[in-house]
Amino acid sequence: MKKTVLITGTSSGFGAAVAHFFAEKGWNVIATMRDTHKAGDLRNSDNVLITKLDVQDAVTIESAIAAGIERFGRIDVVVNNAGYGLFGIFESASREAIQTQFDVNVFGAMDVTRAILPHFRANHAGTIINISSGAGAIGFPMASIYSASKFALEGFSEGLRYELASLGIRVKIIEPGGAMQTGFMARVGGESTGLQLIEDYLPFLGKIGKVYGGMQEAADPDAVEKVVAAIFEAATDGTDRLRYTPTNDILPILNARRSSSEEAYQLFTNSLFVSQNE
């Protein structure tokens, strides 16, 4: 029997690419997005249902899940991909802008998860794949709010995993690197962020901009393909593995975080973000 995946945020980037990939692999795909006019050539596949889902709107979450079950009979995998990055100096971000970041990246994923769980429990099966980030494991300068949201998503996923294991439901975390070869960059610092310029930070911003420029040059050129492959692996490998780190650009810093002492980790990250900044 064909399997079915529901993906949030398929209007662009990883979400669109992963929707195409699952469809090409013969899966039924519930490709959800805020604005279904952005579906593009996802419309050309018979096994793709395009439906509205705004993770900030519970009614659309329920209706997308119901439409998917009505069309394909069941849902096997949910990919919580919808998200964006509120990048900038913490002090310059309003409470409202921070709240919206958490509404989408954290509460949105939680609301989709809560809505699908009765169906997964009834099936005694299901996989939830949460798209985190390298910034879900380490705090990046200029990304303290985004990192906080992805740390929250990781803590949620890790704790939830234990609750669901005995019910036959798996939880997975994907940690893409900072390649930003999607629509992600265009949204960073966009109108939704509401950031105000504080001049005292300008020298810091100039220096850290150069550090990020170097990191982008070192990013995996095929990051999107690698992330898509990791999401498909997480959906199909039948293991209880929790984390997938598909891009090489993020590995040195993740290894420093997870395989060395706190002191060594801090020395390493200082060499990236502090020394070059003095």
Q: Which residues are catalytic?
A: 132, 146, 150
9 binds ligand NAP (CB under 6 A): yes
- In the region spanning residues 126 to 165, those forming contacts with ligand NAP, defined by CB under 6 A, are 131, 133
Query: To the nearest 10°, the Cα dihedral for 93, 95, 101, 105?
Result: 140
From the CB of 167, what's the least distance to ligand NAP, in Å?
A: 26
CB closer to ligand NAP out of 122 and 218: 218
Distance CA 151, CA 153 (A): 5
Handedness of CA 200, 149, 152, 240 (dihedral sign): negative
Distance between first and last Cα of the chain: 59
11 binds ligand NAP (CB under 6 A): yes
CB closer to ligand NAP out of 51 and 182: 182
From the CB of 200, what's the least distance to ligand NAP, in Å?
A: 28
From the CB of 52, what's the least distance to ligand NAP, in Å?
A: 9
Site string for ligand NAP, 86-105 (x = CB under 6 A): ------------------x-
Distance CA 161, CA 240 (A): 9
CB 16 within 8 A of CB 50: no
Per DSSP, what are the bridge partners of residue 28? 4
84, 140, 156, 212: which one contacts ligand NAP (CB under 6 A)? 84
Q: By CB under 6 A, which span of 10-18, 88-96, 154-162, 258-266 interacts with ligand NAP? A: 10-18
CA angle, residues 151, 155, 157, in degrees to nearest 5: 115
2, 38, 71, 258: which one contacts ligand NAP (CB under 6 A)? 38
Per DSSP, what are the bridge partners of residue 171? 128
The 3-class secondary structure across 218-266, one letter per residue, is CCCCCHHHHHHHHHHHHHHCCCCCCEECCCHHHHHHHHHHHHCCHHHHH
35, 46, 262, 263: which one contacts ligand NAP (CB under 6 A)? 35
42 binds ligand NAP (CB under 6 A): no
Site string for ligand NAP, 45-74 (x = CB under 6 A): ---------xxx------------------
Distance CA 273, CA 15 (A): 30
CB 6 within 8 A of CB 77: yes
- In the region spanning residues 173 to 212, those forming contacts with ligand NAP, defined by CB under 6 A, are 176, 178-180, 182-184, 187
Burial class (CB in 10 A: 0-12, 13-18, 19+), 102: middle
Interface with ligand NAP (CB under 6 A): 8-9, 11-15, 33-35, 38, 54-56, 81-85, 104, 108, 131, 133, 176, 178-180, 182-184, 187
